[in-house]
Amino acid sequence: MPSRTTLQAVLFDMDGTLVDTEGLWWQAAEEEARQLGLTLSDADVPDVLGRAVEHTAAHLHGISDGAKSEASIAAALDHRFVELVSQQVVPLPGALELLDGLADAGIRTALVSASPRHVVDLVLDALGRRRFATSFAAGETPQTKPAPDPYLAAVHALGASPEGCVAVEDTPTGVASAEAAGVAVVAVPSLTPIAPGPGRAVVRSLLDVDLSLLQRLLDSAAA
């Protein structure tokens, strides 16, 4: 029987996972698309949800045949998203309870986001900075999600090992990032379905996540 892997840390995505902002990001992208004479559809989801502003700006620039520069699209997206977040930062059901339960158990946590630092700081202030040992935002690692860099950086900053960590994510892009870093994943799908898989559990909400589930996931990943 393989030895048990101790849960060392839990690494949380931000938008759509801890706070209800994934819909706000989609709203910001939809509004900018309309300014460009476009209507977003399900085909655009992989280039919007879980993506950094630069990626979504490049996508909108491309499908609008360069109607505006990437830089101006990115600035508009960022401005509108910050505006929406500052008005509507709402922790998702179970988020604060899970974070506090992990703290009570001595489990460290990190925030790993594809949003820019000023948006991450808005959310950290709303959730309580004391709840996180470290955080990473877009531009603070060589590559952002779906590359493994943000999760590897968080694991390193916590002095943990990938096999001792679990990531909590809501998009396929984020899941790909965490799994590329060798981290097991609890997926809480927001706007896009995510299938279960090896080293991956899929739940309906954070209310379904507890220490027992996290440890069982590590045990199954090590089996």
Tens digits of residue pLDDT in 44-77:
999 998 888 999 999 999 999 988 999 999 999 9
What does the mean pLDDT of the chain come to?
Answer: 93
Asked, as a colleague might, if the bond just before 146 is cis with ω within 30 of 0, I would say yes
Residue 32, amino acid: E
Give me the catalytic one of 13, 20, 78, 149: 13
- Global model pTM greater than 0.85: no
Look up 170 and say whether it is catalytic.
no
Average pLDDT, integer, range 128-147: 96
pLDDT single digits (tens) 162-199: 999 999 999 999 999 999 999 999 999 987 899 999 99
pLDDT single digits (tens) 68-115: 999 999 999 999 988 988 888 889 999 999 999 999 999 999 999 998
CA distances from 219 to 165, 188, 222 (A): 11, 20, 5
Write down the pLDDT at residue 1.
Answer: 38
Q: Which residue has the tokens 């089996």?
A: 223
CB-CB neighbours of 194 under 10 Å: 18
Give me the catalytic one of 15, 44, 149, 170: 15
Look up 15 and say whether it is catalytic.
yes
Residue 36 CB partners (closer than 8 Å, separation 6+)? 60, 64, 67, 68, 73
